[in-house]
Structure 1
Amino acid sequence: MTEPDVDRLRRRLGGADTDRVVQRLRQRMARGQPLTGTISLSRPTPAERLAMERLLGRRPGRGTSLTINLDDLDRVVRRSGLHPAGLAAAVERLTGPVPVSAEIRAAEEAAWRTASAPLERLGRRGTELADWSTDRGTVTLLRRLSGTPAAASRLAEDLVQVLALLPAEGTPLARLAARATGDAHALDTDRPLATLVLSAVRAAWWPGDDEPTSPTERRRALWDSAGVLVDELSSTVLVLNVTAAVGSRLHALTAPAANVGEPLVLTLRQLGRERPSFPAGTVHVCENPTVLAAAADRLGPACPPLVCVNGQPSAAALRLLVVLAAGGARLSYHGDFDWGGVRIANLLRSRVPWRPWRYDATAYRAAVVGAAPGTLTGQPVEAGWDAELTELMLRHGARVEEELVLDALLADLAGSE
């Protein structure tokens, strides 16, 4: 086969007046379509018409579009010596190789499969990650967070390294990140790896469907469920007369406060640095600090152990309640009779077992009659521990905060063993 006349090819088919035609040909080639039949250019310029007239040796037409017979164009390219191999070869000589889209997609899919291969190792590691690692949503999340197969491969490898260290036992987040990836900030909130790891944590170690509504507390709670400490000093829980077992570091902190009946703030660091244990028995749990402060004022050291979740439970509060329940404590919970309070109670119920402390339909009915409740607003929520409670709250439309039944709560605490 003779060599193409490259200079003539560029003059006849490589100029601006034939560029639209060449690009249309490239598009066809990229889709794997043959350069046969016809193509049409809408609103051709006089220069485009003239270029094709000269190339084909005749006037293609005078309408609002320019129709070009590709079989004729191929014959001209071959016979004139512009390129003996034909039109497709001429296009590639002018503009470079044309990758076929189907082949590109197949290559990309192969690259993505290779990049996500480390997820398969997670599935073989244990049942807790088997479903998550093979879920289509997980692969989609990996692709979205990484953008390219090369980035996805690095991200998946880092993911495997982090999850190999979980669940941890009170490891600070930055230390986990540095140990797994060499970068202490690799698991910061805005990093893709953190999003991917927390997705795995939610599937493998989060014990229930309900999560805190605050993004910050949700993040802390998820990490805490895998034994990782986040913001270990800013996440706190308020307690009264909750004393850790003798011999633990927490005993040295909690015993003096309990001896004088003073409220104490415990941090997530203090609760997560060791596996604290507490004597079994009944532990009352309330939603609002007002209840705990009043109990300290009225009962002091005589008050039974009392924990305040202070609204949406912090990671520290959840950690403490989980430890108490695991040690045999019987948790009795009271919260506000409103939809927010019911959500909090449902969340706690998904993490630890508790029995209602004046927090059921009977108590609500008595509170509505005996107090001056506010108006119940917001989106209704099903009370997971008492279906009748939800019905009553909808019927009465009344909100009863803990402060309105404070005397009854304090009387219960005063009469507890």
Structure 2
Amino acid sequence: MATHAVEANFDGLVGPTHNYAGLSWGNVASKSNVNAVSNPKEAALQGLAKMKKLADRGYVQAVLPPHERPHIPTLRALGFAGSDRQVLEQAAQADPAILAAVSSASAMWTANAATVSPSADTADHRVHFTPANLSAKFHRSIEHKVTGRALKAIFTDESYFAHHPALPSVSHFGDEGAANHTRLCAGYGDPGVELFVYGQAAFNESAPAPVKYPARQTLEASRAIARLHGLDDRHAVFAQQNPAAIDAGVFHNDVIAVGNGSCLFYHELAFLDEGGVLSDIRARLAGTELQPVRVSAAEVPIEDAVASYLFNSQLLNTPDGMLLAVPGECREVASVSRYLDSLLQQNGPITAVEVFDVKQSMRNGGGPACLRLRVALRDDELKAINHGVIFTDELYNRLTTWVEGHYRDELSQQDLADPMLLEEVRKALDELTGILGLGSIYDFQL
């Protein structure tokens, strides 16, 4: 008999410095909205509304906290000195791009926070976490320390949970977390197949690789995480992302594929060796048949898939099949909207489509799937976590009040140098760690 388990979705709270700096080369949406004025309050409330919508439907929903931004310790490590106010002033005058990078609210996209292997797959039968080093982008490479602290503050019991440090922060071991990792299984408590998708083999210069945009995830990183998590050959498949897809703006696999249970929903250009990937999964998937849902380029051109973030959707179990939770942009792109209508007529595993408004996130290149980290937990493991982060009506109301009281309605690039913004952020985060019961996880609290 299978062990009962649930999939908990840990969504990132959008941070108070949510802004459009266009920091992510290879992310088309991020670059196209550079220097626009953002609305941090609206972004955070949109994220909370998405969480509540799913929690109200009975899904286990939780939150991960935003990071301290601007990140003064990073600026000090780069040679800016004096009081915090002076550090901000110097950075703004000397190199506004650096200030923008250390002010990014990109930790909101918790699909990049870590790679998680459930206890059903691991050798020691604990849930394993490895924060992503995100070494491809400076503004994200500074996240993993606080991410690790937050995960340890939530998943504290070492008899259930194992925490690893991020991989070495170099390009050869570039790791983008769960955005390039998905798990297929009969049930969340059953042994599953963990699909690691990489962009290139860093130590093999003759191997296929993208030309226009960088491949952020390496085979070497994926294999290292599988070893750290105690995954043997029965539980891990390594698949190369199609270099042509990366060059079309598919910077992470979750922009072109998403899996849940026994269903893999993917574009025909997702993998370099589509047939081999499906064969490898089928050979390891115990207790159920793989249910691939393949979208052809004729149905949805890859440019439309990127523009709409069709595959950066959440795929969720329901009593009557699976729900595909899509961003609103999917109904604004004609080919994608037509495809979604046809999908519901296919009598396949996906039986419902629902639109979620995450426009503030989408403008920076992150859809519903970017905003959540999936953690499969047995009942006893779920009981063992810090329940201050579990979404309830009470927590929703407290966090809504918290956002309303601390977030700005508008934020421009020039505002990042405002020392009052830093004070506002620290006051807000200090209050938040109390609300969530996390203790001291930020540098300014230590």
Same fold (TM over 0.5): no
Structure number with the bigger relative contact order (C-alpha 8 A, sep ≥ 6) is 2
- Structure showing greater Rg: 1
Decide which structure has greater helix share.
1
- TM-score class, shorter-chain normalisation, is under 0.3
